[in-house]
Structure 1
Amino acid sequence: MARSRSQTGPDDETLWNQFRGGDENAFARLYQNYVQTLYHYCAHFATDRALIKDCIHDLFVELWKHRTTIGPTTSVRFYLMASIKRKLVRHLTAEQKLVSQDDMINGRRVGDTLPGADPSHENLLIAHEEDSYMTDCLHQALDKLPRRQREAVHLRYFQNMSNEEISSLMEINIQSVYNLIFGAMSNLKRYVTLENVSL
């Protein structure tokens, strides 16, 4: 997960403003801070890894190209995640891959659930449990979640976003955020129990 402040440098809001002023080093730092976060987030919507990488590359190219007209932001992470989601939706819709834009907006599932979060992120969710068998069981359980539940869990527990931020990013109301997370937790408990392991 990307940090809002690096160990040895300025916070992201400062880097953002420096990048807007044409600072190439600040731009490079922002890319390094967020490329993995954006990649893992996109993996909830597409299995085409090359497409994900292309979208991220295109996003940063466009950011640099339009840096003089981009406004300030108090949440670089939210800005970038919202931007990459819009870009990915446009690509998937245009190429008719995996899901349509309507599916993305309304949260309808298409086919089976998509690949789960990276195991290193799952470890954050189960930091109290180091056992590898427990990790494997949770990974399998996450794979079984509906896409929208998985997205909500990823944003809440892996990205530490507030319910208000999740509501805005997913374009749903706060109650729907609560419902998705509650449903995900209930499903995880049920799925892991099926694996004879308790949460």
Structure 2
Amino acid sequence: MDVNSWKEFLQGDEKAFSSLYRSYFNELFAYGLKIGFDEEVCKDAIQDVFYKIYISRNQLTHIRNIESYLLHCLKNRLFDIHNVETQINYINYNDIILESENSVVERIIEKETELQWKDEIKRSLRVLPPKQRKIIYYHYQLNLSFNEIAALLDMNPEAVKKSTYRALQKMRENQQLKNPFLTFLLAFL
């Protein structure tokens, strides 16, 4: 019957294909389990084998022992799945470790750099008179415009702008390290 089903399938009979699938599924499933694969992987591999046979039936006319051919195809498909899963697990594991290590180190460096800049800015702010400190705070921390600061401090907007410039110049002159943040701030005035 299996030989007849195989021949009929090769000639295009859809029912013969279903018959082949039902006839060999249990044998293929048992074989997959016996060589060490879990049930879901075996079922998926059997589906893959029969799909490949279905789409390439015109090239399979030379196959005489369908049982042997199916077992061979299943074994190859199972080992292909195993190799892909092993490679994915290996790559993911290494990527996760490297990514975690890099991101932790990068975050530590960024945090340390940020703390250094903040300390340096605080030191630089200490040399400013209170009014200039307020202007810097309003402009860069609260994002207030020169007009808004002028209204708050009862000043001329042009005077606020000049005071901001002078404050930043003074901070830059008094900083011990070259701070790119302060240079950046000065560039926009």
Q: Which has the higher contact order (CA 8 A, sep 6+)?
A: 1
Greater CA radius of gyration, 1 or 2? 2
TM class by shorter chain equals 0.3 to 0.5
TM-score, normalised to structure 1's length?
0.41
Higher helix residue share: 2
* TM-score (norm. length: structure 2): 0.43
